[in-house]
Amino acid sequence: MQPAYIAHETAIIDVGASIGKNTRVWHWVHICSGATIGENCSLGQNVFIGNKVVIGHNVKIQNNVSVYDNITLGDDVFCGPSMVFTNVYNPRSAIPRKDEYRETIVENGVTFGANSTIVCGITIGRFAFVAAGAVVNKDVPPYALMVGVPARQIGWMSEFGEQIPLPLEGNGRYTCPYSNKQYQLRNSQMECVSK
Ligand SMILES: CC(C)(COP(=O)(O)OP(=O)(O)OC[C@H]1O[C@@H](n2cnc3c(N)ncnc32)[C@H](O)[C@@H]1OP(=O)(O)O)[C@@H](O)C(=O)NCCC(=O)NCCS
């Protein structure tokens, strides 16, 4: 029986890996046996997916990204080209640390710009946006725009992918001109208040 996903002939998909329908697997990808990948994802050239990895639906992983063990990606996550995840906080070649992997949780809708680096053991809140080249080493609030090394929050990003202009005028809400979704700050956290 034909698999429900599409894979280039150079991809190596270990027996046991679970891959959802309409997911596209491009050239020289390696997916380990324990991985679970949702539907409608795209794995670009030279992507590596480890064993203890769960990836949601509609996730786009661009060329040259490795998703190592103990990394979880929600739905609609975008990983820009050559961005880097990690799973050992303080690696030393001579000291085994396979029992010390730290979990990285990426919530739904997050974007990682090209060449950004995520130091392990943190949670990236939903729809956060990590700019190209940023190095993130602390938890990131939902909708935060993170820039630089080390990454600092310089604003908030809408689900559409535009900065939310501050201060919020009028009724304290911002309406996205593209999606009509409304955003509001509550307790210094950005929330999307429309369904
Ligand atoms: C973050 C991003 C979306 C720009 O958002 P924006 O709302 O238009 O932000 P601006 O360009 O107005 O920049 C705001 C400030 O952040 C700085 N900045 C923006 N992106 C930055 C980055 N990647 N690294 C460091 N500083 C950055 C700007 O220089 C500016 O600083 P200033 O106020 O001192 O002039 C864009 O820079 C980015 O990183 N996109 C990711 C591109 C990518 O990797 N795509 C992958 C698929 S090809």
| Protein fold of 6-165 | UDP N-Acetylglucosamine Acyltransferase; domain 1 (2.160.10)
Is the C-beta atom of 131 inside 6 A of ligand 1? yes
Residue of 115, 116, 147 to mutate, ligand 1, most atoms within 8 A of C-beta: 147
Backbone φ and ψ of 99, nearest 5°: -90, 5
Q: Which ligand 1 atom minimizes the distance to the CA of 112?
A: 44
In short, whether 65's Cβ falls inside 6 Å of ligand 1 is no
Say if residue 39 is exposed, middle or buried (CB neighbours under 10 Å; 0-12, 13-18, 19+): middle
Per-residue pLDDT for 95 more than 80? yes
Half-sphere exposure of 185 (CA within 13 A, CB side): 14
CB 119 within 8 A of CB 102: no
Taking the domains of the chain in order of start, what are their residue ranges? 6-165
The pLDDT tens digits of the residues spanning 21-51 come to 999 999 999 999 999 999 999 999 999 999 9
Convert the pLDDT of each residue in 118-161 to its tens digit. 999 999 999 999 999 999 999 999 999 999 999 999 999 999 99
